[in-house]
Amino acid sequence: MNGTLWLAWRQQRLPALAGLLLVAACAVWAAIRHAELADIVGGHDLTACKGWNGTCPVDVEVAIFDHTPGIRALGTLAVLLPAAIGMFWGAPLVGREIERGTVKLALTQGAGARSWFAARFGLAALCATFLSAAVAALLAWWWEPIANMQDGVYWFDPYILSGTGPAAVAGALFALAAGTAIGLLVRRTLPAMGLTAAAVLATTAFLTFFRRDWVAPVDRITPGMTPKRLIGSGWSAGYRYLTPDGVQHPLENCALSGEELRVCMAGHGYTGRVHKVYPSSDFWTFQAIDTAVYLGLAAALVALTAVLLHRRRGLV
């Protein structure tokens, strides 16, 4: 290791080691708790426990209840990790060099701005990928034995949907790119850290609240007053009422059940109920949306940073 890569490692080894310690601590915690969980659920057939209407043995129910807070805590860490990477790694990556004036020294040592930036950002991106992938994998491993079981953590909870899978890694890379670009534009580390946190959390919140608008749910139709089909591990998107011409009407027109529902449906001429549901297989559809958005934004921000650095005379 030499040149710009050696310099990048010297300047980033502390956050890299801190991240490695974080992953090690999470691995020990998850391994201990996962072993406890496996001992409890290992002797049971958990098929009947799946979904909102599942029924579990008492000791499995207790295990789900006991492990849910820990899984949610690790999930919260996984969801917030990209913002932390953007704040504490991305924002100072270039912004601190400009703020302190050390970027002039770095760019006058024979290394071009392109190779200097490539070494710094490449190493940071490699570390961010490892950290986010490791935490996401630990979370998924701990959650998997009791995934989508009654009163537990479901696939569409933000802890799982945003904290596991390729979307978690893409989110970390986006946060790193956002912090780097903001640090370069603001040229002050502390303001850049605050703006980065706001930008990353706003993007995460936008995807959390609006990604469902880009995917059509499945319609589960129940004719007349027939008992509704069980939702299983699906994600409910609400109810509608159906008229003979196939038009769906909003929920507020009738009560949910009982004689009041029957009278209301007869009065409005409704012939059935429609339950809009996202099946658990949509997990990968939502993951693909998040991953594409994050990686697209990250690529655009890295390109912007590279263009601005190419005009480094105006920046330093």
The whole-number average pLDDT for the span 105-132 is 85
The most distant pair of C-alpha atoms in the chain lies apart, rounded to whole Å, by: 83
Q: How confident is the model at residue 69 (pLDDT cuts 50, 70, 90)?
A: very high
pLDDT at 111: 67
> Rounded distance, CA 46 to CA 171, Å?
33
Q: Which of 256, 249, 248 is nearest to 225 (CA)?
A: 256
**Extended beta strands in 52-139, E state:** none
DSSP state of 251: G
> Rounded distance, CA 93 to CA 97, Å?
7
Radius of gyration of the chain (CA): 25
Q: How confident is the model at residue 316 (pLDDT cuts 50, 70, 90)?
A: very low
pLDDT digits (tens, 9 = 90+) for 120-166: 999 999 999 999 999 999 999 999 999 998 778 999 999 999 999 99
Half-sphere CA count of 45, side-chain side, radius 13 A? 2
Please determine, for residue 71, whether its predicted confidence score (pLDDT) is greater than 70.
Answer: yes
Q: How far is CA 277 from CA 195, 216, 233, 237, in A?
A: 37, 9, 10, 5
Q: How confident is the model at residue 240 (pLDDT cuts 50, 70, 90)?
A: confident
Please determine, for residue 263, whether its predicted confidence score (pLDDT) is greater than 90.
Answer: no
Q: Tokens 């959650």 — which residue?
A: 143
DSSP state of 244: T
Locate the domains of the chain by residue range: 3-213+281-313, 216-278
pLDDT at 108: 66
The whole-number average pLDDT for the span 287-312 is 92
Task: Compare 75 and 315 and report the one with higher pLDDT.
Answer: 75
**Window from 62-71, 173-182, 249-258 with minimum mean pLDDT:** 249-258
Collapsed DSSP state (helix, strand, coil) of residue 250? strand
> Rounded distance, CA 253 to CA 241, Å?
8
Q: How confident is the model at residue 28 (pLDDT cuts 50, 70, 90)?
A: very high
Please determine, for residue 228, whether its predicted confidence score (pLDDT) is greater than 80.
Answer: no
pLDDT digits (tens, 9 = 90+) for 269-285: 888 888 899 999 999 99
> Rounded distance, CA 257 to CA 89, Å?
54
Task: Specify the pTM.
Answer: 0.89
pLDDT at 270: 86
Collapsed DSSP state (helix, strand, coil) of residue 276? strand
> Rounded distance, CA 290 to CA 278, Å?
16
Please determine, for residue 298, whether its predicted confidence score (pLDDT) is greater than 70.
Answer: yes
pLDDT at 77: 97
**Window from 147-161, 225-239, 282-296 with minimum mean pLDDT:** 225-239
The answer to whether 91 and 182 are in contact (CB under 8 A) is yes
pLDDT digits (tens, 9 = 90+) for 177-193: 999 999 999 989 999 99
Please determine, for residue 244, whether its predicted confidence score (pLDDT) is greater than 90.
Answer: no
Task: Compare 157 and 54 and report the one with higher pLDDT.
Answer: 157
The whole-number average pLDDT for the span 206-214 is 92
The answer to whether 302 and 263 are in contact (CB under 8 A) is no
> Rounded distance, CA 162 to CA 231, Å?
22
pLDDT at 1: 55
Please determine, for residue 314, whether its predicted confidence score (pLDDT) is greater than 60.
Answer: no
Q: How far is CA 24 from CA 17, 28, 74, 165, 257, in A?
A: 10, 6, 13, 19, 51
> Rounded distance, CA 271 to CA 215, Å?
26
